[in-house]
Every structure is written in C-alpha cells, then in structure tokens.
C-alpha cells in the first residue's frame, strides 16, 4: 500500500511574513492529516521553514539544485547546501525549469543523480505540452523523460524517487487533467517502471500536478495510480492546502 504524499511548490512566492503565516496555518490544521506533507520553499527561506517545522511532521524540500557539489558556480546552490538546511526533498525537472531555463532531459537526469548522491529524495517531474498531447505523443514524451533517468541511474534508483506527472498545459492554467486522463498516464508510467521491475513500480509514488485544488483533489487522489499531488497555486493558502492534504 503506497502512502499518499502532498507536496507544495511555492515557486518564487514568499516573504518572511508570508512564510510564517503559511507554515503556522498549515501546522494548526495538521490534526487528522494522514498524508505525508512536504513544502518546497525558495532557497532563501529554507532556514526559516526548517526552524518553523522542527519537531513537526511537515517535511521540507527545495525547488532546484546544481549538479556539482561545490566550487566556482556563482549563484548556484549545491545538494549538500540544501541538506544542510534540513530539506529531505528537491523538485527536479519542473516544466518551468525545462522550458524557461533550458533544462534538457540529460540535465534533469544528472540533477536527479546529484540529489540521490547527496541523500535527497527527488520529486521528479515529467509531463507533456498541449501540442505534444494533441499530436498523440504524451506517452512518447513521458517515456523519453523517464528513460533518461532509468538509463543513467538504473531502475533501483526509483526506490528513492517520487515521480510527479505534471501535464504542462495544466500547470497554473486552471485546466486540470480529468481523473481519467491523469489515471491513464499514471498507469502508463507505472507500466513503464514495471517493464524493468514490477516491485519497484508498485512501490514508487506517482503524484499528479497541474491545477489541483481543494475542489478536485479527492477525485484525482482516489484514482488507483494517483498517490497524491504536487501543488502550486493552491499550496500558498493554508486552508486550501490542508483540504488537499486531507483528501488523501
């Protein structure tokens, strides 16, 4: 039985004041939440969140990492630095990083490796654009993104990876994939993993992301291969985020 996981991706939205309000709001409503809950904060706020969530069940994640462990990489943040601030997770391959910052499938695979090497759990995002879906290429695109990681790291690495299926057309648009659309791709992903290892496929958490909100979370998470959500906009309001956490 896989555990439900709900992760909030705050993207580049935070201030010291809003972080305090949001975390205190989430913590005040965690009674009765059985899902694992992760908040992925922008780098400058990792330390503040680490302090606010210490001795609670909330877990911390970052949103990006550099593949190198240290050195002359001005402006970059290493996997060890992320760990140093109490994070256990890091988002890798978010579509905004792939499209706005040119992260290729090779770079995403290398970042996944760097995260695992440092003892972090990557939240590995995959998903197709609208054009790719409309041309019938969803499975080809998702398979290519996942195979790059399987080829570099081997299927065993998925013992320590959380996958997030995030159709690009659904991210931040209000256009949620229907439960049927999402479940079909999740089943495809699990089948792809099963081609290499049935037991790892059954254990790997596959979250859905893309305009998941308090109103649609329960139906999506009730699908047999949807193990939770990666939440953007709705993760910025404690009340909405908690409702999603309670949907699992």
Binding residues for ligand PEP (CB under 6 A): 9, 11, 166, 171-172, 209-212, 230-234
Instruction: Please work out, in degrees rounded to the nearest 5, the angle formed at the alpha carbon of residue 160 by the alpha carbons of 51 and 241.
Output: 50
Please list the active-site residues: 94, 166
CB 42 within 8 A of CB 18: no
Name the residue among 164, 142, 236, 158 with its Cα closest to residue 201: 158
Q: Are 179 and 223 in contact (CB under 8 A)?
A: yes
Whole-angstrom CA distances from 203 to 2, 140, 155, 194 are 6, 23, 12, 10
């Amino acid at each position: 039985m896989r555990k439900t996981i709900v992760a909030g991706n705050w993207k580049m939205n935070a201030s010291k004041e809003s972080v305090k309000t949001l975390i205190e709001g989430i913590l005040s409503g965690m009674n009765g939440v059985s899902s694992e809950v992760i908040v992925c904060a922008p780098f400058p706020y990792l330390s503040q969140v680490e302090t606010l969530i210490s001795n609670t069940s909330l877990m911390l994640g970052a949103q990006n990492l550099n593949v190198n462990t240290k050195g002359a990489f001005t402006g970059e943040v290493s996997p060890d630095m992320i760990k140093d601030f109490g994070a256990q997770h890091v988002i890798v391959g978010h579509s905004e990083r792939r499209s706005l910052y040119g992260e290729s499938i090779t770079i995403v695979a290398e970042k996944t490796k760097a995260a695992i090497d440092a003892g972090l759990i990557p939240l590995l995002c995959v998903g197709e654009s609208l054009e790719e879906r409309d041309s019938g290429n969803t499975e080809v695109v998702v398979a290519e993104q996942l195979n790059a990681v399987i080829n570099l790291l081997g299927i065993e690495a998925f013992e320590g990876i959380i996958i997030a299926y995030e159709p690009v057309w659904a991210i931040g648009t209000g256009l949620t994939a229907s439960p049927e659309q999402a479940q079909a791709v999740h089943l495809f992903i699990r089948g792809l993993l099963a081609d290499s290892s049935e037991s790892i496929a059954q254990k790997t958490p596959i979250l859905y992301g893309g305009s998941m909100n308090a109103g649609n979370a329960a139906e999506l998470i009730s699908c047999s291969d949807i193990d939770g959500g990666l939440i953007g906009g709705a993760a910025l309001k404690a009340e909405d985020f908690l409702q999603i956490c309670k949907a699992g």
